[in-house]
Structure 1
């Protein structure tokens, strides 16, 4: 009997295990069947030769998103060994270039440099694409390893090969501590080549300028420069008129992450730790997303800056979590910063033994660096300055030679002209010249008139199209308002009806903007006095009830705002007026007053004020603000105007005001 029960238990366990395995296998199969998109790494391995793998590797943005760089390196090493075994020199070359790039992406700059140098010894066998990649790897690796003299040699090689027109030294000067000189040279060398509509190039330019300013301790100026760079990269990413490749979008988003990290660093330097954290967190997340699998000094630095913020905010738990999970730094400055943060952390927690240990590490590293850094930096600086002077001297000699050649050419041309003039009849030549000049003038004037006519026609058509667009947008918004009205009629819930009415009021506020735009001669701005009056009438039609005697005074004559300011302003005013009608005057016989004041002078800050003499705000206004959609909406709209909404409680009623740019 006991044996029979034991057998039954074993049989049940076997059946349960079998069913569990069946469900697990079925789930895995279903998951694989749903994952129809091939992984990047799998797609790379499915390619059949070195050339296609080479092109796929360097043309794939965010290639380490599915598998780590170490997985790629293992596969490339296998392909490289196989190519060496088959004596396929071209494949060996291609895989070696990829191998060097992966080591660079992992932050192993010594290994990447060694492979690149070995490749460049046989540069005559390298293809054009491979040669450019190898030169760039040599350049960046020398920079990371602070071998600036070698870096200049590579840049000379690039110029000799026609890859670059000039040899730049500004980044090297910055690495040697001469940040102001680096910025001056950068402005002189690069600004003239960036087109006004090249928003990505503008973002890169102002980010680099911000770096030089930040490193030169000009933090407030650097912060404004970084924000300018962020504005350009946002325009680039939001510009739907230009088609962008996946690689371009990935690079732009990665750049945006770096810029936001730099903004966060500036806030840390200004001791604005709460302001810094959102930028730093977004930066680290963006860099990890669009630079997946690659070692990034920016990500390491921004993570350490986050730890510093939490340390100063006395959130020690998050501080130690971040420090424990940070990627091991490579740069000496980052290593020192991490040890200093650990020392401060242990000092605050009372663990003075560990705090002393980390401080000793900091001192040892500083002593080790200071022994060689000063003399090495002087040698490096002397080498760079010498190369810079040599390059400037060569440029002057080339310019001098060009001027001499031009002068000789002018002399020769003069001699030829003299011979021609002697050979020709002076009167005939002069007459022919006058006729030719006269015909050219007539032709030029005709072209000018035609082009002027075309431009004027294009401007008229553009204005007509813009008015049509604003008219259609207004009609669409009115359609949305009508749909909300229909929904209101089919809704019984009072709360839902109130929410729909509020939504309809906000839609009408936006529709009025576009109505005013297509009615204006000038499509770029809105005359605010008329708009506010129309908005008040619209709100009154929804909320004003019989018995109210509300006197509304609007003081906004002569103020014009563009659409980017007018829409958030209109929505905010819609909320304020609606709140006054709904809550400020509960007594139907009250003599209510609302005063709206708006001023904006070109070149100065604008001012907005809204007051009513109603019952005022309740005592728990701040608590309600967390749950009130209207108040949260007004605060977000104020952020769009780059300001904050201020509230003053008066003896009678309430006052809202803010300044704006």
Structure 2
């Protein structure tokens, strides 16, 4: 019986080997590159085992078909999971082979594909930073457009464009991201996508870009596309939740966009549809489903509160509180999840006129909102810095490529010299002349690049100033919408602080020197704004300046402007209480060793028990912090004849 089993095994093995041999022989008979591509792209090839696939390689090498050689390595990388050959050294080796195959005959398209996958792999292995891979991806994307996107179809171009567009989006380059992702969408044939999931991710990123720009009609259109795609393209049983998830998420996104557009009734229908998708597959043991239901309830509750349906809101709030206990809120991804819940509670209790509970949740909202805004501010700053660093890195890549090309020419020149020393003298002369022209041209390009970088820095200062003016306008608008005088004053103080920072950036981008500003003109404009903002029409308070012609860098000018803003504002608020006349003197002088700022008034003076180190005043505490930032010292004197604040700092001459 055992012998019979062995015979059957040997027969089966011989049949498999014969099938492998037939596949290799069939490949050998193919005469064109297109036929070989089609053979290797056939899903049946994946069913071959690794030895059979390896047996095709010598056939390709014998035919000297470099494009097919590259494609063989590319497909091998895709089949690695089926071949069960994963290890740490596999992909770098495959990528090296792909790069070598592309370089043999100068295959431009294949070279770009290799560059993309090398950059992607290096980023995954943390050999490249996000800024560096951004630069590499820009390089690849420009080449893909130049060479024609259709020519990249065999190489899963949808996945390449998705990854590149996602990187652009992460670094805040939304225009470039949208350009890339629209190219991916314009492939326009679903069968060309690796999977409906890839197609969905492309549409979702485009939707997010339009939503960030508040172009809600277009965002809704793309959310509808996602819903239809996942309604008609069902995943396999193992991944069926993906289809439900995207149908639910797209419905909820549409609900939020309609909410922003003021169409609450229609938004409610989409919110109900989105929550129904998640509710049908509710599973507290699945974290993804719990988070999805939690987010869906937030949208549904928000809209129902707006529509005044309080009787429907209460059971939904209990449900979301139940889900909250199953969400790991300590993780970075879920840390701000309660903010949505607390915002709904504020609106719920306000609608019920339970202002005690509304105020309690309002405090929780304020704490989380402040933390979220700080994180978002850091993120925006990181995006700006990252793109600037990426530009520098891209310049370095281009310089390195130019240097490598020059070195290759020199090596070839040396080899020719050994063979034809006599004849090469003339060639060397011509080459040196050409290299000098190249150097001159590169010098011109470098000077042009430097000018472009200066324009970019000037544009950054201009945009920062514009953004700060927008923030200042928001403060002004908010102050005009409140009847609380204290709140209006706080808004006005915030507006003045933002103006003092924006003024620095305005001076920088208007000057020839993008790193320093003239302190005299800056302080004159700043004090005029403070005077206009704070001075009462019933008071005659003179504001006098004695400022030298020093120049300061941005790191000194901004804190100095904020300090001056706080001190002058305090003079107007407190120094001339119950007085109609007064005088404020500002003196700023800089020597070789130090700089000194004096703010003096002839007002009523500070209280006798005033302790500058123990005061809880926001303005004074801000001044103390800014003085420490400048590595300076803060002193003051006060009497019934007035008060003088003196800030003395180590010299910061630029």
Shorter chain as normaliser: what TM range?
A: 0.3 to 0.5
Q: Taking structure 1 as the reference length, what is the TM-score of the superposition? A: 0.33
